[in-house]
């Protein structure tokens, strides 16, 4: 199970395993007067083929998806990171174009511009790259 603040990614070996974990999490949250947002809760089955799971939460069926964003990284059902890399490149381009005038200004020294690009662009492109995502 991956956890961060109010985002949880439950990883299971089977539909039954995921259902059991969700029931335990849901029960614990209810004991503390909290609940899982069923509209935001999605199911992703790790497979190269599209599989729809029949997992419910309090009787409400949960949507099966092929990918989702978790802490800024795109998680896909096939486990590949190609789409996440494409997204990161697009985000880095967007960060560059947002401050393009600053990065190309001749009034700022080349070394300062390099530092700014590393801070504003490369940090976006390489976010979590060291984790092997």
pTM over 0.75? The answer is no
Whether 6 and 62 share a structural domain:
yes
pLDDT in tens, 75-126: 888 777 777 788 889 999 999 999 999 999 999 999 999 999 999 999 888 8
133 has pLDDT over 50: no
The CA-based angle 19-9-48, given to 5 degrees, is 80
38 and 6 within one domain? yes
pLDDT digits (tens, 9 = 90+) for 6-38: 677 777 777 888 889 999 999 998 898 888 888
Which residue(s) pair with 56 in the sheet?
61
CA distance 13 to 11: 7
Domain hosting 34: range is 2-66
**Closest to 70 (Cα-Cα) out of 16, 11, 21:** 11
| pLDDT score for 50 | 67
Pairing of strands 42-44, 56-57: unpaired
Identify the DSSP state of 131: G
Within-domain flag for 35: yes
Q: Do 96 and 46 share a domain, yes or no?
A: no
Please state, in angstroms and rounded to a whole number, the distance separating the CA atoms of residues 62 and 52.
10
Residue 18 lies in a domain: yes
Residues 59 and 86 in one domain: no
């Amino acid at each position: 199970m991956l956890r961060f603040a109010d985002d949880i990614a439950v990883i299971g070996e089977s539909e039954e395993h995921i259902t059991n974990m969700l029931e335990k999490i849901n029960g614990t949250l209810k004991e503390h007067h909290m609940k899982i947002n069923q509209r935001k809760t999605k199911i992703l089955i790790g497979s190269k083929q599209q599989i729809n799971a029949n997992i419910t939460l309090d009787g409400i069926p949960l949507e099966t998806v092929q990918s989702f964003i978790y802490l800024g990284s795109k998680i896909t059902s096939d486990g590949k990171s190609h789409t996440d890399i494409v997204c990161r490149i697009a985000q880095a381009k967007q960060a560059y174009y947002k401050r393009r005038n600053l990065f190309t200004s001749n009034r700022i020294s080349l070394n300062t511009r390099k530092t700014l690009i590393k801070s504003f662009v490369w940090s976006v492109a390489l976010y979590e790259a060291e984790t092997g995502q």
